[in-house]
């Protein structure tokens, strides 16, 4: 029987690349989106699967998505939002939103996915963190906090679920060429490339390759780990 995966926030960018790569490795991948319906449905049609709209920060919507398309053998928590600026300029609602999506979304999706995985005594969870979750970033304090929270979440959950045969890992991307970089100038992007030992900005496919590895049997003894995919970026 074909194994099933859910990739949240997979209508574009890293999520879409991960979905394509997993499908190419034999997974049946459910596409999740909240705004980009046309892109999500086009990707689902390309992969011969379904696209499900759900806001990962809403636990009821997440459970409805799992009830409709699940259960899943692999969960990739990729959905996330960014916010840049001085912390003193951030509003209460902006703070709550980034925490609810980036960290609350991981909680909601993992809570929905775990019962089936525990019952089957197997499963894999991948969460998308960030190099900023490791080192922090100036004017990226809230984003860094949520991504750092994911790292602690993954390490704790890996210990909790290990006895049930479930692996939990995270990927910490560096600067990746997606829509999230659209607000940066060419000079800013060059500086990001120069900060990498490899002299370039990463591609979504770089992250997808790491996800395929962590989801595979080749990583059967890998859990509780944070895999940096950042070109040895200097922050």
Q: Is residue 64 part of a domain?
A: yes
pLDDT reported for residue 191: 80
What is the distance between the alpha carbons of residues 176 and 202, in angstroms, rounded to a whole number? 4
- DSSP single-letter state for residue 218: G
What is the value of pTM for the model shown?
A: 0.94
Q: Is residue 199 part of a domain?
A: no
pLDDT reported for residue 235: 67
Q: What is the pLDDT along the chain (235 residues), one digit of tens a residue?
A: 789 999 999 999 999 999 999 999 999 999 999 999 999 999 999 999 999 999 999 999 999 999 999 999 999 999 999 999 999 999 999 999 999 999 999 999 999 999 999 999 999 999 999 999 999 999 999 999 999 999 999 999 999 999 999 999 999 999 888 877 777 788 877 888 878 888 888 899 999 999 999 999 999 999 999 999 988 877 6
What is the domain range of residue 82?
Answer: 4-175+204-229
- Peptide bond between residue 183 and the one before it cis (omega within 30 degrees of 0): no
Provide the number of structural domains found in the chain.
Answer: 1
Q: Is residue 70 part of a domain?
A: yes
What is the distance between the alpha carbons of residues 172 and 151, in angstroms, rounded to a whole number? 9
- Is there a catalytic annotation at residue 213? no
Q: Is residue 183 part of a domain?
A: no
The one catalytic residue in 33, 135, 143, 213 is: 143
CATH of the domain at 44: 3.40.50.720
Q: Is residue 198 part of a domain?
A: no
Q: Is residue 190 part of a domain?
A: no
Long-range contacts of 88-96 (CB under 8 A, 24+ apart): 90/142, 94/142, 95/142
Q: Is residue 17 part of a domain?
A: yes
């Amino acid at each position: 029987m074909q194994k099933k995966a859910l990739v949240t926030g997979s209508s574009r960018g890293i999520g879409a690349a991960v979905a394509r790569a997993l499908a190419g490795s034999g997974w049946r991948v459910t596409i999740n989106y909240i705004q980009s319906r046309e892109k999500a449905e086009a990707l689902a049609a390309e992969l011969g699967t379904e696209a499900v709209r759900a806001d990962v920060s809403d636990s009821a919507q997440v459970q409805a998505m799992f009830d409709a398309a699940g259960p899943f053998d692999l969960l990739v928590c990729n959905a996330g939002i960014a916010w840049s600026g001085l912390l003193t300029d951030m509003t209460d609602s902006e703070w709550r939103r980034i925490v609810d999506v980036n960290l609350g979304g991981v909680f909601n999706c993992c809570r929905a996915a775990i019962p089936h995985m525990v019952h089957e005594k197997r499963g894999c969870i991948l969460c998308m963190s960030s190099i900023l979750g490791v080192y922090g970033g100036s004017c990226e304090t809230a984003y860094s906090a949520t991504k750092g929270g994911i790292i602690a979440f993954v390490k704790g959950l890996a210990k909790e679920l290990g006895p049930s045969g479930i692996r939990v890992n995270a990927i910490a991307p560096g600067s990746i060429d997606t829509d999230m970089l659209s607000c940066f100038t060419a000079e800013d992007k060059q500086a990001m490339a120069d900060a990498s030992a490899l002299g370039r900005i990463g591609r979504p496919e770089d992250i997808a390759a790491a996800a395929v590895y962590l989801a595979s049997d080749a990583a059967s003894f890998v859990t509780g780990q944070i895999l940096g995919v950042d070109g040895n970026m200097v922050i």
